[in-house]
Amino acid sequence: MTNTQPPKRWIRFMKFISALGFMLLVSLSWLPPAKAADQAIRPAADELKQKAQHAYVEGRYAEAAAIDLEIAEKHPDSEARRYAVQILGAIYEENLVDLNQAIKWDRDFLLEYADPRQAPFYEGKIANLEKLLPQEPAFKTYQAIRSANYSDEVLVENFEALLKGHPDFLLRDNVEIELGNAYGRMDRREQSYLAFQSIVSRGGEEAVPPKERAVYEAARRYWQMTWTWAWVAWGFVIALWVVVLLMKPWKRLTGASSKKFLLWPVLWLLLTAAIMPIFNSLETGGYSMPIPRITVFILSGLNLTILFWLLLLTRGEFWQTRRFALILLSPVLTLLMTAAVFYLVVVYHPYGPYSMDVFAVKLAYWKGQVMRHGIRYVFNM
């Protein structure tokens, strides 16, 4: 008869395996779950992160850096470490200014946490910081000026001193952008233009960031009006006076014409007094470009000088045998003289460049209105 029961050796082996499996299951049940272990770490790291954020917002950068450093070193597996590594790079670059530390933490973030979109930014950032290492004192001064709550006047003084002490500063363009904006806010358009133009001369207009283009364009228009076109206007005024004096008009001046001209100041003063209520109504009506009374009288005086120039022009020797030429040219020359003189008055007035911008916008509006109504009239015919 055949024995179908398993051998005793095999039965003992199976019992041993069963006991071992039971002991393993019991020991695993005693271990805390992985999620619970992670939660035991996370509250401490998250609490430190909140403290670091609070310190950073309040400007206690050394304290914030110390807390973030604790997170980075003592909680390597926590989610808060990503924030700590990233903010450490920013603090050491912008606030505490230690470029070696900034490079270290930016590189750690690049290698451990940066996604494909962030990687090129951090690679360029690290390269720029490495270039700035020899100029760390100048960079520290630059960051201190930017972070200080200076008035525009003090800000300009400090940035000008920085460029004077470090003419080869790698962030010179950034400093000059700050200067251009500060001068623009102070309504010192000439200095604003020169600051931006220094950037343009090195890298072209593309070197001016898009968000600063409006300030740069305003400063450039001001420069063109007060320098380029102002010198053109001065050239016309001087040239026209020289032309008149070369024709020796005093030889043909008579007592009667001189007495007749003396009536013009009286009539002009009466006219000026008559229109003064118009300017008073502008001031009381909240007009955005007030015109002082002294400006009105200066304009009146300039009109008299133009009339006196016209008197001399018509008495020139050149016209004795050229009466038809005088009739044709005197209105054109008078118009040029008037336009040049009044252009100089406008551009040197505090509100002059702004008023010209407003006038240009208004002129474009009038042109559009004329074109629109003209086209409507043509189609309605």
**Lowest model confidence (mean pLDDT) among 30-39, 248-257, 322-331:** 30-39
Averaged pLDDT, 84-105: 95
pLDDT band at 92 (very low <50, low <70, confident <90, very high): very high
pLDDT band at 311 (very low <50, low <70, confident <90, very high): confident
CATH topology (fold) of 41-137: 1.25.40
**Lowest model confidence (mean pLDDT) among 141-150, 228-237, 278-287, 354-363:** 278-287
pLDDT top residue among 228 and 19: 228
Structure token digits, residue 242? 């020289």
Q: What is the pLDDT of residue 42?
A: 60
Distance separating alpha carbons of residues 241 and 334, to the nearest angstrom: 11
Phi then psi dihedrals of residue 180, to 5 deg? -60, -45
pLDDT band at 22 (very low <50, low <70, confident <90, very high): low
Indicate the SS3 state at residue 82: helix
Q: What is the pLDDT of residue 373?
A: 65
pLDDT band at 96 (very low <50, low <70, confident <90, very high): very high
**Lowest model confidence (mean pLDDT) among 13-22, 55-64, 345-354:** 13-22
pLDDT band at 11 (very low <50, low <70, confident <90, very high): low
Q: What is the pLDDT of residue 289?
A: 53
192-202 pLDDT, tens digit per residue, is 999 999 999 99
Q: What is the pLDDT of residue 205?
A: 86
pLDDT of 177 higher than 80: yes
Burial of 336 from C-beta contacts in 10 A (0-12 / 13-18 / 19+): middle
pLDDT band at 34 (very low <50, low <70, confident <90, very high): very low
Which residues, in sequence order, are CB contacts of 220 under 8 Å at separation 6+?
193, 196, 197
Burial of 149 from C-beta contacts in 10 A (0-12 / 13-18 / 19+): exposed
Structure token digits, residue 249? 């008009």
pLDDT band at 5 (very low <50, low <70, confident <90, very high): low
Q: Other C-beta atoms within 10 Å of 144: how many?
A: 13
Global pTM reads: 0.65
Which residues, in sequence order, are CB contacts of 35 under 8 Å at separation 6+?
none
pLDDT top residue among 264 and 163: 163
pLDDT of 279 higher than 80: no
pLDDT of 165 higher than 80: yes
